[in-house]
Amino acid sequence: MKVSSVIGIDLSGPRNLADTCVAVFAAQPDNLSFQRAIHGASDQQIYHLVSNLGTAEPVVVGIDAPLSYNPAGGDRPSDKELRRLEIGRASCRERV
């Protein structure tokens, strides 16, 4: 499949919107070519960036976002569970 662009989006939580970033790359046959980045991107900026690419070829969008948000701060329950599962797997591997 031929792809025209690859976009990476790193979404931050509501308390640190300035940390949301977007990077855009043009897809070449053998590599990606950096086009632009937006630091502190708003939802509207992200939407306009993606919808204004104006290409008939597919665009790949990768999104890194929190699994959930803990307004009180600290670890979210999902983060604690993932860490617990990883620790359990690591100890199983050590025993093998």
Which CATH number do you get for residue 9? 3.10.20
What whole-number percentage of the chain has pLDDT above 90? 26
User: Which is higher by pLDDT, 73 or 80?
Assistant: 80
Q: Per the structure, how many domains does the chain have? A: 2
Residues 49 and 75 in one domain: no
* 10 touches 24 (CB < 8 A): no
Alpha helix stretches (DSSP H) within 1-96: 43-51, 77-95
Rounded alpha-carbon distances, angstroms, from residue 85 to 24, 53, 55, 60, 66: 34, 40, 42, 30, 17
Model confidence, pTM = 0.66
Domain residue limits at 96: 69-96
Residues 54 and 94 in one domain: no
Is residue 87 very low, low, confident or very high in pLDDT (cuts 50, 70, 90)?
low
Residues 32 and 55 in one domain: yes
Decide: helix, strand or coil at residue 14.
helix
Per-residue pLDDT of 23-46, as tens digits, reads 999 988 889 999 999 999 988 999
Residues 26 and 5 in one domain: yes
Residues 16 and 59 in one domain: yes
* Class of residue 38 by CB neighbours under 10 A (exposed 0-12, middle 13-18, buried 19+): middle
